[in-house]
């Protein structure tokens, strides 16, 4: 269960004033009657997903886990951020993973590519290439390189069995490659955009290969769907309203998502795409930013506390973390830490969080929205990601913005294709 | 050599108008006559550093590289960001490193701590604990845990030889621990603050253990010092003026540092601390943000191109990257990439950068400052980091802000110590 708390907001917000807007928006999402309605497949997906494909995903993941120790996921934007965020958030950064997941195909640095290819030299590995079209430059280049190497390493026939594609059901270059070479394929549904795709095969196959219980992940999403697909001001819509009012009425320019663990850095990156790409249109929208405390309190903390008052914070707190370490006793106590002896690090962490909420909101005057979740496990992560997707759609509609297009992304691409001499540009 | 270019700025800036300010500021830095003058040790450090200690750092690094395969660096804020940024930027993320460097001691997540301790279970590893005082909570807790584990793994006597401390020369709890247990120690000079410390032992020991040529790194810094410690408007001061004018005269709130490779994500994090903690005071300053393209063009790109006009970009381009990979031929060309056949990824990357500079600055109206460096090797990284430090000091003085204190960081700490029941709070 997710709770949105306002005791550190420090601003008056008349949430109930938005009751009619929310009713209209929620009904509009369900009736697919709002702008961007062609891309609302994610809204009921936790219930409507293809159960047969889900079983195939589990089977493919088992196969990969038994056959290789490395899976390379080639995708960019929505085709990797969700999976990476969920895997790191749930498994942690130094977990004892059976299969190493390498995300490759989202930048063009020669150095980075060379190092990854060198690491995979001579190795038997699996590939999950994720692209709606199959022609996205970064991903397509990475897939060419990876496929060539894998074929060199294990032979063409064997390579075919180690390549898995997630792509459009009916069209596109990657679908053509699948048909020609017989790669097993999964569907990126036509009515779900990249940044809303973590509950499709885009997210599920990498998660399952990482050993995550994807049934629990989908259960979390469904739980959130049942809670937040309602005409009332539920927690997701409450969050949408709070940030809307801080933007429109109080003039804040930046929303900073704060987490309390390094394994949640990528959750911030996923969230930044979700909100930035959905909302940042028509010269409007909150700039999404992210930080991880306590480390960034020794970096951005000074600015948040005393710098330009341009931002508010949205802080995610995990109430019941799974694992803990206790502060050990030290006879000499030269570091003066014995007052924490026997206390858990999670206790210190949550105390730091409470202290920071006060420091920033009361002393610093920075509004803080608090989002409490039970645990960053598969269920909790599924719940939280759906919560944000639902909130994001509502937030955009409150700003009268279509949450599901991204016209601005094409500008640099057209410039680039022209300069690179791509046929047709 | 670093070049600051303004052809994608899209705004009129009268740089020469700042000639007198810059002269006064540069003379003030050299004469130590400006606010914060107790912390100007970094300014001449690339020349004045302790040569004897430098040799000891090299010797210690050799010892560590010969004895273990893992070094855990325990530090927070300026005591880890610079080293991590330089190591990742120079070595890349998947380089073939002899020693794995793990940064630990900058968050309090129990899950993260547990995983790292589990990974180190039974292992012979080295520790570099970095703290001016030795009582910073995150780092001191991590050091207790690491020392306990190492002593369990290899015995107390052997552990002493594998622990290296970087701390104050004359005082503090960590110095006391060094004296009591005989750890080899290096100096965090009293007149250099954490975020300006990458050229001291704070950065140098981890870099040397990572196999980086720290002589070249210091040569780069010295080269930059000779170029940017001048009363004229050199490249560093030009950058400081440009961002100052975009802030003061054009009203931008956010500066986004853009790099073109995942191995440079941490350079963005270091830069965010440097500028955010130096400048974010008295309700003023540019919020520092960062991104890595091309990947974030599929995430934040939409917002930058068409969202609220609150930010400008500072883009770092590497003119002569060391390694490259060529796009291979494909007979079928189903992905339509043969037009790039035989081209290097770095060529595609730099073409994407040019296309994006145009897309953002011309079509999007977002000012872009361009910083060109030759190469992200040890020399180039040293040069760039000093460039930013010099520019940051000048930028703060242009805003009439002391660049070297961080009064706001104490607020959350005091709250936290009170809640945790620390004696004296």
Q: Give pLDDT tens digits for A187-201.
A: 999 999 999 999 999
3-state class of A288 per DSSP? strand
- CB nearest to B262's CB, from A107, A140, A295: A107
Please answer yes or no on whether A117 and B325 come within 8 Å at the CB atom. yes
Q: Is B298 a catalytic residue?
A: yes
Length of chain B measured in residues: 425
What mean pLDDT, rounded, does chain B reach?
A: 97
User: Hey, of A243, A299, A416, A421, which one would you mutate to test binding to chain B, going by the most B CBs within 10 A of its CB?
Assistant: A299
For residues A196-220, b (16+ Cβ closer than 10 Å) or e, as one string? Answer: bbbbbbbbbbbbbbbbbebebbbbb
CA torsion sign, A262 to A266 to A267 to A271?
positive
Nearest residue to B132 (alpha-carbon basis) of B163, B185, B172, B102: B172
**pLDDT higher than 90, residue B279:** yes
What is each CA distance from A371 to A238, A375, A384, in whole angstroms? 11, 12, 10
Considering the candidates B88, B269, B277, B279, report the single residue annotated as catalytic.
Answer: B277
Q: Residue range B243-255: average pLDDT?
A: 98
The pLDDT of residue B423 is 92
Chain A residues within an 8 Å CB radius of B104:
none
Please answer yes or no on whether A289 and B289 come within 8 Å at the CB atom. yes
Distance from CA of B313 to the nearest CA of A (A): 13
Please answer yes or no on whether A261 and B112 come within 8 Å at the CB atom. yes
Distance from CA of B424 to the nearest CA of A (A): 11
Distance from CA of B394 to the nearest CA of A (A): 17
3-state class of A101 per DSSP? strand
Q: Which residues does A392 contact at the CB level (< 8 Å), separation at least 6?
A: A240, A274, A275, A278, A279, A403
Q: Minimal Cα distance from A304: which residue of B?
A: B280
Q: What are phi and psi of B409, to 5 degrees?
A: -70, -25
Chain A residues within an 8 Å CB radius of B401:
none
And the tokens for A120?
A: 């995979």
**pLDDT higher than 90, residue B96:** no
**pLDDT higher than 90, residue B377:** yes
The CA-CA-CA angle for residues A18, A192, A216, to 5°, reads 85
Chain B residues within an 8 Å CB radius of A415:
354-356, 358-359
The pLDDT of residue A170 is 95
A355-402 pLDDT, tens digit per residue, is 999 999 999 999 999 999 999 999 999 999 999 999 999 999 999 999
Distance of CA A294 to the CA centre of its chain: 21
| Residue pair B295/A319 in contact by the 8 Å Cβ criterion | no
The helix (run of H) or strand (run of E) holding residue A129 is strand A126-130
Distance from CA of A315 to the nearest CA of B (A): 15
**pLDDT higher than 90, residue A109:** yes
User: Hey, of A77, A257, A334, which one would you mutate to test binding to chain B, going by the most B CBs within 10 A of its CB?
Assistant: A334
- CB nearest to B180's CB, from A112, A287, A332: A332
The pLDDT of residue B179 is 95
Chain B residues within an 8 Å CB radius of A101:
none
What is each CA distance from A8 to A303, A304, A353, A367, B413, in whole angstroms? 18, 15, 12, 6, 18
User: Hey, of A77, A84, A96, A108, which one would you mutate to test binding to chain B, going by the most B CBs within 10 A of its CB?
Assistant: A108
Please answer yes or no on whether B280 and A420 come within 8 Å at the CB atom. no
Query: Could you give the strand order of the β-sheet that contains B163-167, starting from the edge strand earlier in sequence?
Result: B100-103, B70-74, B126-130, B163-167, B184-187
Distance from CA of B361 to the nearest CA of A (A): 11
Distance of CA B268 to the CA centre of its chain: 7
| Residue pair B105/B134 in contact by the 8 Å Cβ criterion | no
Chain B residues within an 8 Å CB radius of A358:
412, 415
- CB nearest to A344's CB, from B92, B110, B330: B110
The pLDDT of residue A96 is 84
Please answer yes or no on whether A415 and B112 come within 8 Å at the CB atom. no
Size of interface A-B (CB pairs under 8 A): 435
Helix B201-209 with B81-91: angle, nearest 10 deg? 30
Chain B residues within an 8 Å CB radius of A145:
325, 327-328
- CB nearest to A292's CB, from B77, B107, B285: B107
Catalytically active residues of A are: 277, 298, 413
Cα–Cα dist A215/A57, whole Å: 11
Chain A residues within an 8 Å CB radius of B413:
355
B321-370 pLDDT, tens digit per residue, is 999 999 999 999 999 999 999 999 999 999 999 999 999 999 999 999 99
Cα–Cα dist A156/A410, whole Å: 35
The helix (run of H) or strand (run of E) holding residue A312 is strand A311-318
Chain A residues within an 8 Å CB radius of B311:
287
Please answer yes or no on whether B112 and A93 come within 8 Å at the CB atom. yes
Q: What percent of chain A has pLDDT over 70?
A: 100
Chain A residues within an 8 Å CB radius of B309:
283
Q: Minimal Cα distance from B116: which residue of A?
A: A94
Chain A residues within an 8 Å CB radius of B109:
260-263, 321, 345-346, 349
Q: What are phi and psi of A264, to 5 degrees?
A: -110, 5
Please answer yes or no on whether B356 and A327 come within 8 Å at the CB atom. no
What is each CA distance from B121 to A188, A305, B63, B125, B140, in whole angstroms? 42, 39, 22, 10, 20
Please answer yes or no on whether B280 and A78 come within 8 Å at the CB atom. no
User: Hey, of B334, B375, B396, which one would you mutate to test binding to chain A, going by the most A CBs within 10 A of its CB?
Assistant: B334
Q: Residue range B302-313: average pLDDT?
A: 97
The pLDDT of residue A299 is 92
The pLDDT of residue B370 is 98
Q: Minimal Cα distance from A131: which residue of B?
A: B335
Q: Is B413 a catalytic residue?
A: yes
B13-52 pLDDT, tens digit per residue, is 999 999 999 999 999 999 999 999 999 999 999 999 999 9
Distance from CA of A52 to the nearest CA of B (A): 29
A218-250 pLDDT, tens digit per residue, is 999 999 999 999 999 999 999 999 999 999 999
3-state class of A399 per DSSP? coil
Distance from CA of B172 to the nearest CA of A (A): 9
Distance of CA B68 to the CA centre of its chain: 26
Q: Minimal Cα distance from A175: which residue of B?
A: B334
């Amino acid at each position: 269960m997710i709770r949105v708390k306002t005791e550190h907001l420090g601003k008056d917000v008349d949430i109930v004033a938005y009751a009619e807007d929310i009713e209209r928006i929620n009904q509009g999402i369900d009736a697919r009657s709002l702008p961007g309605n062609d891309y609302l497949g994610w809204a009921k997906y936790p219930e409507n997903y293809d159960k047969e494909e889900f079983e195939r995903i589990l089977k493919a993941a088992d196969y990969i886990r038994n056959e290789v120790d490395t899976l390379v996921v080639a995708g960019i934007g929505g085709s990797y951020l969700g999976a990476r965020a969920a895997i790191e958030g749930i498994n942690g950064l130094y977990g004892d993973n059976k299969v190493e997941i390498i995300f490759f195909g989202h930048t063009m640095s020669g150095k980075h590519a060379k190092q990854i290819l060198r690491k995979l030299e001579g190795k038997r590995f699996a590939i999950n290439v994720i692209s709606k079209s199959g022609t996205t430059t970064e991903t397509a280049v990475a897939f060419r390189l990876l496929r060539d190497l894998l074929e060199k390493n294990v032979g063409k026939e064997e390579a075919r069995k180690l390549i898995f594609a997630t792509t459009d059901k009916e069209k596109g270059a990657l679908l053509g490659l699948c048909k020609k070479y017989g790669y097993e394929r999964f569907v990126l549904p036509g009515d779900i955009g990249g940044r809303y795709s973590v509950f499709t095969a885009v997210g599920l196959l990498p998660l399952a290969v990482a050993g995550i219980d994807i049934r629990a992940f989908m259960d979390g999403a469904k739980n959130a769907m049942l809670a937040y697909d309602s005409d009332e001001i539920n927690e997701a819509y409450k969050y949408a309203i709070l940030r809307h009012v801080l933007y429109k009425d109080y003039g804040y320019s930046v929303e900073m998502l704060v987490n309390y663990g390094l394994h949640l850095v990528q959750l911030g990156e996923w969230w930044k795409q979700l909100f930035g790409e959905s909302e940042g249109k028509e010269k409007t929208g909150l700039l999404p930013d992210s930080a991880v405390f306590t480390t960034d309190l020794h970096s951005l903390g000074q600015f948040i506390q005393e710098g330009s008052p341009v931002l508010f914070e949205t802080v995610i707190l995990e109430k019941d973390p799974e694992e803990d370490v206790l502060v050990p006793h030290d006879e000499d106590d030269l570091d003066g830490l014995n007052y924490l002896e026997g206390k858990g690090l999670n206790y210190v962490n949550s105390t730091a969080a409470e202290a920071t909420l006060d420091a920033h909101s009361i002393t610093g005057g920075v509004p803080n929205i608090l989002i409490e979740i039970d645990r960053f496990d598969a269920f909790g992560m599924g719940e939280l990601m759906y919560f944000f997707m639902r909130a994001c759609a509502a937030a955009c509609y409150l700003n009268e913005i279509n949450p599901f297009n991204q016209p601005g992304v094409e500008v640099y691409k057209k410039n680039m294709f022209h300069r690179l001499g791509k046929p047709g540009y």
